[in-house]
Amino acid sequence: KASAGTGKTYRLAMRYISMLLSGVEPERILAVTFTNKAAGEILEKIVTESLKMAEDPTALQRAIKNGMIPPAATQKNIICAMRKLLACDKKLMISTIDSLFLNIVRSFPLECGILGEIMIYDESVIKKMQIRALLRLIRETDAVQRDIITNELNQATFGSSEKSLIDAMKNAVLTYGET
């Protein structure tokens, strides 16, 4: 029900503006979305919609009529809210859900049962790390153990779409076995 083009970013931006107009400090508002692109679009939409309403009384009245901002909002209020937002020296909390959880975990690692440094890796880095770990495992085993590892990987994936990893492992096993 929240597919592309349904106005999610617009609604979030207008809710954010409404909260600013109601006196909530910008650093106390949390806007969360799924992608970095959408997080950037929210801030952009907050600024552009505020500018529209500050410059065009019709846009302001339409937003009030649609219940997007408080009925008492004025162009002057919107300009003041934007000044407060743009002058905010604390970090605005417009982010992805991943970033939100990462910040929570980094703030309370012991409470989350985590020790050590917390890192987030993209898929390509994770694949490389997995292959390195598997190659290290292969290097430290003999031929019989390598066959066992290869068979276990085949059984674990049931021949599914992870064949590229399995093929890479088989190639690595064969290559390592030859050297």
Instruction: Provide the pLDDT for residue 179.
Output: 47
For residue 14, give the nearest of 73, 58, 102 by alpha carbon: 73
pLDDT score for 119:
77
Q: What is the pLDDT of residue 160?
A: 55
Which pLDDT score, from 0 to 100, does residue 68 have? 94
What region, left, alpha or beta, does residue 178 occupy, with left being phi > 0 and alpha being psi -120 to 50 degrees?
Answer: alpha
Closest by Cα among 167, 38, 15 to 97: 38
pLDDT at residue 74 in the model: 95
C-alpha span between 85 and 108 (Å, rounded)? 28
> What string of pLDDT tens digits covers the 179 residues of the chain?
566 677 888 999 999 999 999 999 999 999 998 888 888 899 999 999 999 999 999 999 999 999 999 999 999 999 999 999 988 878 888 988 988 988 889 889 889 888 877 777 777 777 777 777 777 877 788 878 877 777 776 666 665 545 565 566 656 555 555 54
Is the torsion defined by CA of 15, 16, 17, 20 positive or negative?
Answer: positive
**Global confidence as pTM:** 0.64
- Ordered alpha helix ranges (H), the chain: 8-21, 36-55, 57-65, 75-87, 97-107, 123-139, 143-157, 163-178
